[in-house]
């Protein structure tokens, strides 16, 4: 190995996209026009956009080249067979069903297999996963380990499922559990990884009770890298082999290729069950498209196939996970409270701890998101009481945590962008006692965070 410590971006830049350097006054006006909800900003009004790591990554030259190889045949496209081969080689699953993004895979799976009253346990359901289960009148149950809900507690695998809780659930209510899911990495719990030991324990319980085990595999490669770093058995294993072992333990997966597919759109559902796959394909034809394209263009299947090969390359994963950790270290060293340790795709600021004078029902996450945008043009997202606080009976209560997620798009920003973000966060943290909460002036009953309008309590 070479003697240098600097972990560099393992790519150089061939095509650039300019940033719009608008002033603080312009941002202030834009935020007011957006009713203090950053989802309503024009992306051109944002300097560093950390709203999501989903579909926002940069494709490689090889992926752009692959686009020209796309076969747009309606049925039996060559691009589908290439995509299917890559997904099969990686996951080992027999059936590969393309979809336009992750939530389409979720909807098709859950609509096909769930009955009213069923239970689907997960470490933590992502919001679309939960919604697609609840719409079938089934229950989405979160059973992450206790450490996974404590922002400052250190644990190498905070995404682990509480296997004792799973065992108790299966002993009590096995009939109602249609399948067991684990999300790698656990996005809603801070982008935290799940260990191979935990996946093995879940597998063993599922086998004992005869339950299918599915991964929500959106960030499988980042999870594999954490396993390599933190689970001694896998220290010398290539990330791809670790990923294959994770998939080998499961019976199927849902996937959003917008994350670890390194693509701007796409997803898939994969599984071993012939019976479920037949039923899922029928629904796929109804709502997504013929099974050899599933709502995607042939060129998109090509880009995903290539992306799935690049995402498990060691230099990429080393840089990827280190760049997130680097941001976390900088802001944490300045005393800004964050979920520890850093997640794979994002750093989560603890807005409730940073703004103790803003009550949860005055939305400290929104206060922090808006200040970061106004002061520095950085767009994050509130993951807290606005997102989770409104219940189906119309009552509102504080969420478990009030966080602000800074999600890092893949291969998009350089180290100086990240340095700038750290400086911005530290600057806003220093003025935090002057930040005021918000009240909601209008909001829909469902998924209100996307469209709610706010007014400052200043
Ligand atoms: N599962 C997880 C764990 C996710 O993070 C997402 C999307 C999905 C499923 C749904 O996939 O967007 O392709 O339909 N997460 C994005 C985010 C939107 O910002 O975290 P999709």
pLDDT at position 365 over 90: yes
Q: Could you tell me the pTM of the whole model?
A: 0.96
How much is the pLDDT for 458?
86
Residue 88 parent element (H or E): helix 78-91
- Tokens 């999600």 belong to 407
Ligand 1 centroid, distance to 236 Cα (angstroms): 30
Ligand 1 centroid, distance to 335 Cα (angstroms): 30
Distant-in-sequence, close-in-space partners of 16: CB < 8 Å, separation ≥ 6: none
Q: Given the CA of residue 52, which atom of ligand 1 is nearest to it?
A: 19
The C-alpha atoms of residue 307 and residue 60 are separated, in whole angstroms, by: 8
Beta strands in 172-216 (DSSP E): 180-183, 213-216
Best mutation site among 39, 103, 217 for ligand 1, i.e. most ligand atoms within 8 A of its Cβ?
103
Best mutation site among 218, 369, 409 for ligand 1, i.e. most ligand atoms within 8 A of its Cβ?
218
Q: Given the CA of residue 183, which atom of ligand 1 is nearest to it?
A: 3
The C-alpha atoms of residue 345 and residue 348 are separated, in whole angstroms, by: 10
How much is the pLDDT for 394?
86
Token representation of residue 237: 């294993």
The C-alpha atoms of residue 99 and residue 282 are separated, in whole angstroms, by: 13
Ligand 1 centroid, distance to 128 Cα (angstroms): 7
How much is the pLDDT for 1?
58
Distant-in-sequence, close-in-space partners of 446: CB < 8 Å, separation ≥ 6: none
Token representation of residue 447: 């998924």
Ligand 1 centroid, distance to 258 Cα (angstroms): 8
pLDDT tens-place string over residues 31-90: 999 999 999 999 999 999 999 999 999 999 999 999 999 999 999 999 999 999 999 999
Tell me the pLDDT band of 127, cut-offs 50, 70 and 90: confident
Please compute Rg for the chain using Cα positions: 22
The C-alpha atoms of residue 105 and residue 259 are separated, in whole angstroms, by: 14
Ligand 1 centroid, distance to 218 Cα (angstroms): 7
Q: Which residues line ligand 1 at a C-beta cut-off of 6 Å?
A: 52, 54, 101-103, 126, 128-129, 183, 187, 216, 218, 256, 258, 267
């Amino acid at each position: 190995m070479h003697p240098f410590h600097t972990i560099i971006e393992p790519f150089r830049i061939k095509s650039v996209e300019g940033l719009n350097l608008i002033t603080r006054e312009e941002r202030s006006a834009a935020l007011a026009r957006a009713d203090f909800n950053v989802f309503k900003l024009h992306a051109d009004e944002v300097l560093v956009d950390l709203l999501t790591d989903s579909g926002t990554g940069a494709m490689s030259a090889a992926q752009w080249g692959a686009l020209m190889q796309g076969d747009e045949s309606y049925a039996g496209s060559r691009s589908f067979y290439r995509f299917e081969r890559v997904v099969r080689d990686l996951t080992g699953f027999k059936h590969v069903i393309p979809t336009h993004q992750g939530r389409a895979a979720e909807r098709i799976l859950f609509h096909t297999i769930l009955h009213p009253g069923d239970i689907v346990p997960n470490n933590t359901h992502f919001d679309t996963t939960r919604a697609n289960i609840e719409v079938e009148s089934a229950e989405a149950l979160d059973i992450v380990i206790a450490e996974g809900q404590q922002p400052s507690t250190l644990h190498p695998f905070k995404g682990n499922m509480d296997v004792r809780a799973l065992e108790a659930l299966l002993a009590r209510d096995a009939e109602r559990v249609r399948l067991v899911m684990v999300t790698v990495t656990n996005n809603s719990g801070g982008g935290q990884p799940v260990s191979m030991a935990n996946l093995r324990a879940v597998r063993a319980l599922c086998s004992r009770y005869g339950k299918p085990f599915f991964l929500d595999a959106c960030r499988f490669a980042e999870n594999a890298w954490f396993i390599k770093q933190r689970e001694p058995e896998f220290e010398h294993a290539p990330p791809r082999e670790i990923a294959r072992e994770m998939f080998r333990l499961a019976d199927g997966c849902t996937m959003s290729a917008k994350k670890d597919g390194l693509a701007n759109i796409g997803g898939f559902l994969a599984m071993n069950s012939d019976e479920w796959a037949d039923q899922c394909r029928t629904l796929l034809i109804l709502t997504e498209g013929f099974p050899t394209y599933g709502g995607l263009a042939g060129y998109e299947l090509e880009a995903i196939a290539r992306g799935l090969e690049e995402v498990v390359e060691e230099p990429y994963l080393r840089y990827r996970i280190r760049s997130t950790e680097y941001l976390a270290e900088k802001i944490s060293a300045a005393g800004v409270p964050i979920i520890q340790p850093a997640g794979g795709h994002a750093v989560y600021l603890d807005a409730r701890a940073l703004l103790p004078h803003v009550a949860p029902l005055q939305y400290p996450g929104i206060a922090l998101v808006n200040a970061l945008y106004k002061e520095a043009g950085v767009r994050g997202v509130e993951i807290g009481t606005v997102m989770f606080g409104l219940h189906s009976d119309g009552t509102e209560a504080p969420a478990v945590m009030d966080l602000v997620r800074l999600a890092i798009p893949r291969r998009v920003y350089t180290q100086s962008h990240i340095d700038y973000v750290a400086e911005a966060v530290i600057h806003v943290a220093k003025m935090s006692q002057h930040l005021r909460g918000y009240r909601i002036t209008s909001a829909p009953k469902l998924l209100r965070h996307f469209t709610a309008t706010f007014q400052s309590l200043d």
